[in-house]
Structure 1
Amino acid sequence: MAVEVKELLEAGVHFGHLTRKWDPNMAPYVYMERNGIHIINLYKTAAKIEEAGNALAKIASSGRKILFVATKKQAKDIVAEKAGAIDMPYITERWPGGMLTNFVTIRKAVKKMASIDRMKKDGTFMTLSKKERLQVDRLRAKLEKNLGSISDMTRLPGALFVVDIKREHIAIKEAQKLNIPIFAMVDTNSDPRQVDYVIPANDDASKSIDKILSHVTSAIAEGLAERKAEKEGSDSDEAPKKAKKAAKKAVTSEEEE
């Protein structure tokens, strides 16, 4: 899907931070300075969205998950909605320390959540005292808030998509340690060298975040559709082979008789 500069402009993607707050490493993506604010070059943003989109589509078509991270107020709901729509995990509450570097522990917490759910289904939960039930409910709610969206993530993600790399610096460091590719919206006050796929953009305005996320998740959806089509194609190719094999087996067994 082609990215129009006009739509990025209308969404306010071009507004950077105050010039005194800028990171000089963002210079290649800055178009000009206006009224003490840096203006981002939207032609470069459009090109970077397409580049990131192509790479994310490949990761999605390979069957790997892309973990979205955005805990700032104006990004939370947008990320939860967009990532949820394409069935990708996301963190919109506090980043759980060791989420990636100590993934085994995080998986244990997710399993704990699943075991509480089983207790409620099989009736074990009702055998507990009122106080114990209250404690278990509180634990379940806490786990759901922090880990609910990653409960289906059984292995480390194939990539990270971050909104505001300054705010999510712990997530960035963990991904770097494990060589997990980082895709991010990077504003003029951040260092783009921390990111593998930089999308220079206003990461404070909800309209800007929504616009970038729409393009990114659309590219991922295309990758998922491609994977599904390939899978269905290989299944249909496999059916005649299986039938042929079964027929051959039947003939052989008849001859043996």
Structure 2
Amino acid sequence: MANTIEVKDLLDAGVHFGHLTRKWDPNMAPYIYMERNGIHIINLYKTTAKLDEAKDALHKIAASGRKVLFVATKKQAKDIVAQLAGDANMPYITERWPGGMLTNFVTIRKAVKKMALVDRMKKDGRYETLSKKERLQVDRMRAKLEKNLGSISDMTRMPAALFIVDTVREHIAVKEALKLGIPIFAMVDTNANPRDIDFVIPSNDDASKSIEIVVKAATDAIKAGLEERKNEKSSDDQSKPEKKAAKKKVAASSEEEE
């Protein structure tokens, strides 16, 4: 597991800054430390505890071989999430959330297959048989699908969980996950309702430094889980010859006794 992030690190990244007090959601009261100059200040001790809980759960998901879908379409989060989720080999949505992404997953998979079809056409030469106008149309379609769905092209089944930056902005994703019973991990600011979130990480979801430190902690936990899975597989592969040899030895002993 990745090391616990200290409160000082979160403080330096501005994770404690919430929204204006008049914009708050009362359900966030347990995570608010105080009010300063009309802004709510998040209790970073609670953030640390909740982040550790989330990391532990993400580690287990990754170790089991399942995927976590990251969702962050706001300007200050999209590049950070694309980089960190990509490094952890996890799918992500950083453009527009495609309606029905989860509840109509079959249709989304069909769109991904269209991308793969165009790629095959370019490899086998069929693309060259199209007219200039048809090639232009195909390229535009492929580019549009790549922009919206490129990062999930390898996601052949539903994700085991969602990690969301800003649940207010990504309310459609939250709604779809709730409908299907998919666990939600999220950075939840003081203006959001934490009640529907399985793993609440009370934090500033507007500042890039705050987003980066929290998302990096999450992806580091995922990487650790993937590494654990890899080591277990390697260990199993190495032990297979030994197990086979042991079985042969037992079989041989049985034959001798007979």
TM-score of the two chains, using structure 1 as the length reference: 0.95
What is the rounded CA distance, in whole Å, between the counterparts of 2:165 and 2:77 in structure 1? Answer: 7
| Structure 1 residue aligned with 2:16 | 14
Task: Give yes or no for the alignment of 1:101 onto 2:103.
Answer: yes
What is the rounded CA distance, in whole Å, between the counterparts of 1:243 and 1:144 in structure 2? Answer: 50
| Structure 2 residue aligned with 1:254 | none
1:51 aligns to what SS in structure 2?
A: helix
Q: 1:240 aligns with which of 233, 239, 242?
A: 242
1:175 aligns to what SS in structure 2?
A: helix
| Structure 1 residue aligned with 2:255 | none
1:25 CA displacement: 0.3
| Structure 1 residue aligned with 2:139 | 137
Q: Residue type matched to 1:37 in 2?
A: I
Task: Give yes or no for the alignment of 1:227 onto 2:217.
Answer: no
Q: 1:28 aligns with which of 17, 30, 38?
A: 30
What is the rounded CA distance, in whole Å, between the counterparts of 1:147 and 1:248 in structure 2? Answer: 53
Count of residue pairs the alignment pairs up: 250
| Structure 2 residue aligned with 1:69 | 71
Q: Residue type matched to 1:62 in 2?
A: S
1:26 CA displacement: 0.2
Identical aligned residues as a percent: 74
1:201-216 correspondence to structure 2 within 5 Å: 201-216=203-218
TM-score of the two chains, using structure 2 as the length reference: 0.94
RMSD between superposed Cα atoms in Å = 1.4
What is the rounded CA distance, in whole Å, between the counterparts of 2:174 and 2:58 in structure 1? Answer: 17
1:52 CA displacement: 0.2
Q: 2:181 aligns with which of 172, 179, 194?
A: 179
| Structure 2 residue aligned with 1:146 | 148
| Structure 1 residue aligned with 2:114 | 112
**Which stretches in structure 1 are left out of the alignment for 5+ residues?**
252-257
What is the rounded CA distance, in whole Å, between the counterparts of 1:131 and 1:141 in structure 2? Answer: 15
Structure 1 residues 165 and 247, CA, compared in 2 at 3 Å: closer, same or farther? same
**Which stretches in structure 2 are left out of the alignment for 5+ residues?**
253-258
1:246 CA displacement: 7.6
Q: 2:60 aligns with which of 52, 58, 61?
A: 58
What is the rounded CA distance, in whole Å, between the counterparts of 1:198 and 1:24 in structure 2? Answer: 15
